[in-house]
Amino acid sequence: MKILVPKVNKNYFIYFFASMLVVLIIIPICFTRKFTFNQETDNVEQKTEEAQIDYGVKYKTINLLHKNDNSVETIELEEYLVNVVAGEMPVDYELEALKAQATVARTYTLYQIENGKKHDNADICDDSNCCQAWVSKEKRFERWGENQEEKWEKIRTAVYASAGDIITYQGRPIDAFFHSNSGGSTEIPVNVWGGTNYPYLQVVETSGEENYSQYYSEIELSTDEIEKKMKEKYNDFSINWNEEDSIKILEYTESSRIRTIKIGNKNISGVEARSIFGLRSSNFTFERNDNKIKFKVIGYGHGVGLSQTGSNTLAKEGKNYKEIIEHYYKDIEIQNIKN
């Protein structure tokens, strides 16, 4: 008897094993990959949110050192800035100029906390010679005399309208220098403090600063006073006033300030001359009349960064505070620390 064996299609086995491979291996891998991807995405989002929360909390309050009694006050950043702007800029300036000052002061504060001088148990102090000016509401009201609440509210409006805004370069807060009056042109840091330059601090021009009282000043000193002041700094100082070039400007900076001036047997920087003789800036000329030297000075301050009178001029021309900031600091971004 002949036994008939049914023919088996070889394709059947191929399809069978392929199906089992999909069911047992590939599908579980797909679900696992999808779950892992979603989990990783969730982790990134969670870390981003946590980082944002930490960043906002970090700068929500600061510890302020009051130099007069060495007390430390914990104060909200924006409230601190109200007192800073009140101490640093005239309240009758345009609102957009006040906003620019608030943003600069906020940036300066964060930069100092991360990179500046350290104070025991404090982030920053209220001494303008060390950090930046801070004035109490009561002290400012005494100086204002009239319409104190209205003026104070104007400053609060400027601070809170720009709340959280800081100036950054490559994602970090900049060293946001500012001064009173640039005399029409700002200065680069290396010509004031030496060291290296900051890419975001370049020579920029602003018209209209001559309309402010801070623009021009004069100081007249006798030759004896000049000798005394120079000898206080240099024991070996000497000068022959009969020589025609006993005082002579040797070199200027890119912004037309004095880089080097010869006084007797000393060649000193314009910045040093400003300090020794009590001048408002290093942008000056001089006239000699018998035994008197008259210094004619343009501008007020070191000249680096934002000019306050210049920013007020730009505000009067219709510029907003961000445009003002972008005029004085190059290749920067204005970012908000809350976002």
Q: Are residues 109 and 252 in the same domain?
A: no
Give yes or no: residues 78 and 118 share one domain: yes
Higher pLDDT, 279 or 2: 279
- Whether residue 158 is predicted with pLDDT greater than 90 in this model: the reply is yes
Least confident of 47-51, 76-80, 113-117, 328-332: 47-51
Model pLDDT, residue 36: 37
- What pLDDT, on a 0 to 100 scale, did the predictor assign at position 22? 47
Q: If you average pLDDT over residues 298-319, what whole number do you get?
A: 98
Of residues 177, 180, 173, the one with CA closest to residue 202: 177
What is the model's pLDDT at position 215?
98
For residue 41, being part of any structural domain is answered with no
Of the candidate ranges 25-39, 195-209, 306-320, the one whose mean pLDDT is the lowest: 25-39
Q: What is the pLDDT of residue 57?
A: 64
- The number of CA neighbours under 13 Å toward the Cβ of 164 is 11
- For residue 69, being part of any structural domain is answered with yes
Tell me: do 272 and 310 sit in the same domain: no
What pLDDT does 338 receive? 77
Mean pLDDT of the region 128-135: 92
Given pLDDT bands bounded at 50, 70 and 90, which one contains residue 213?
Answer: very high
173 and 72 in a common domain: yes
Mean pLDDT taken over the chain = 87
CB atoms within 10 A of CB 174: 23
Q: Is residue 111 part of a domain?
A: yes
Whether residue 310 is found in the same domain as residue 230 = no
Whether 11 is covered by a domain: the verdict is: no
Amino acid identity at 144: W
Count of structural domains, the chain:
2
pLDDT at 14 over 80: no
For residue range 242-264, list pLDDT tens digits in order.
999 999 999 999 999 999 999 99
Residue 118 in this model has a pLDDT that exceeds 90: no
Query: What is the structure's pLDDT at 59?
Result: 77
Q: Which residue has the higher pLDDT, 66 or 44?
A: 66
Q: Report pLDDT for 24.
A: 54
Note whether 231 and 149 are same-domain residues.
Answer: no
Based on the domain organization, do 318 and 244 belong to the same domain? no
Q: Do 74 and 117 sit in the same domain of this protein?
A: yes
In a domain, 7, yes or no: no
Of 119-133, 211-225, 226-240, give the lowest mean pLDDT range: 119-133
Instruction: Enter the pTM of the model.
Output: 0.81
Q: How far apart are CA 80 and CA 58, in angstroms?
A: 15
Indicate the range of 188-192, 194-198, 253-257, 272-276 predicted with least confidence: 194-198
In angstroms, the Cα distances linking 227 to 267, 269, 295 are: 14, 17, 15
Q: Please give the residue that has the higher pLDDT: either 181 or 1.
A: 181
Same domain for 163 and 117, yes or no, is: yes
Determine the pLDDT at residue 51: 37
Residue 237 lies in a domain: yes
The answer to whether the CB of 180 falls within 8 A of the CB of 214 is: yes
Kindly state whether residues 111 and 166 are assigned to the same domain.
Answer: yes
**Whether residue 170 sits in one domain with residue 134:** yes
Report percent pLDDT > 70 for the chain.
Answer: 83
Is residue 140 a part of any domain in this protein? yes
Q: Are residues 172 and 227 in the same domain?
A: no
Residues spanned by the domain of 326: 61-178+306-336
pLDDT of residue 195: 87
Q: Tell whether 204 is covered by a domain.
A: no
Q: Which two tokens stand for residue 300?
A: 């007020």
The terminus-to-terminus CA distance of the chain in angstroms comes to 89
Mean pLDDT on 206-223? 96
